[in-house]
A = this chain, B = another copy of it.
Amino acid sequence: MPPLPLRAQIREVGLRDGLQSIQSVLPTAHKIEWIRAAHEAGQREIEVGSFVPARLLPQLADTAELVAFAKTLPELFVSVLVPNLKGAERALEVQADLMLVPLSASEAHSLANLRKTPDEVVADVARMRAARDASGAKTLIEGGIGTAFGCTLQGRVEPAQVLHCMQALLDAGADRVSLADTVGYANPAAVRELFEAACKIAGERLWCAHFHDTRGLALANVYAALEAGVTRFDATLGGIGGCPHAPGASGNAASEDLAFMLADMGIDTGIDIEGLLALRARVAQWLEGETLHGTLWRAGLPKTFGAAVHHALSV
A residues at B contact (CB < 8 Å): 1-2, 4, 150-152, 155-156, 158-160, 163, 183-185, 187-190, 192-194, 196-197, 213-217, 219-220, 222-224, 227, 243, 246-250, 254, 257, 260-261, 264-266, 294-296, 298-300, 302-304, 308, 310-315
Question: How many subunits of this chain does the assembly comprise?
Answer: 2
Per a CB cutoff under 8 Å, which of B155, B184, B264, B315 touches A299?
B184
Supply 19 A–B pairs (Cβ within 8 Å), ascending by A: A1-B196, A155-B303, A155-B304, A156-B304, A159-B313, A159-B314, A160-B314, A163-B315, A188-B220, A188-B223, A189-B264, A190-B310, A193-B312, A214-B299, A215-B261, A216-B254, A216-B294, A227-B227, A246-B298
In the complex formed, the residue of B with least CB distance to A197 is B313
Per a CB cutoff under 8 Å, which of B152, B214, B248, B250 touches A303?
B152
Contacts of A312 in B (CB 8 A): 193
Distance between A262 CB and nearest chain B CB, rounded to angstroms = 9
- Are A299 and B249 neighbours in the complex by a CB distance under 8 Å? yes
Known: A1-B2, A197-B313, A250-B295. A261 touches B217 (CB 8 A): yes
Contacts of A158 in B (CB 8 A): 314
Distance between A270 CB and nearest chain B CB, rounded to angstroms = 18
Per a CB cutoff under 8 Å, which of B185, B188, B295 touches A216?
B295
Per a CB cutoff under 8 Å, which of B1, B248, B304 touches A192?
B1
Known: A296-B215, A304-B155, A308-B156. A189 touches B4 (CB 8 A): yes
- Are B295 and A213 neighbours in the complex by a CB distance under 8 Å? yes
**Complex formed: what's the CA distance from A152 to B301 in Å?**
11
Per a CB cutoff under 8 Å, which of B159, B183, B214 touches A295?
B214
Distance between A167 CB and nearest chain B CB, rounded to angstroms = 10
**Complex formed: what's the CA distance from A247 to B219 in Å?**
22
- Are A1 and B265 neighbours in the complex by a CB distance under 8 Å? no
Q: 6 closest A-B pairs (Cβ-Cβ)?
A: A189-B265, A216-B295, A220-B220, A249-B299, A246-B299, A150-B304
Contacts of A1 in B (CB 8 A): 1-2, 192, 196, 227
Contacts of A257 in B (CB 8 A): 215-216
In the complex formed, the residue of B with least CB distance to A193 is B313
- Are B187 and A264 neighbours in the complex by a CB distance under 8 Å? yes
In the complex formed, the residue of B with least CB distance to A153 is B303
- Are A249 and B295 neighbours in the complex by a CB distance under 8 Å? yes
Other A-B contacts than A1-B192, A217-B219, A219-B220, 5 sampled, CB-CB below 8 A, are: A189-B265, A197-B315, A216-B294, A248-B298, A249-B299
Per a CB cutoff under 8 Å, which of B163, B215, B300, B303 touches A260?
B215
Known: A216-B295, A308-B156. A185 touches B150 (CB 8 A): no
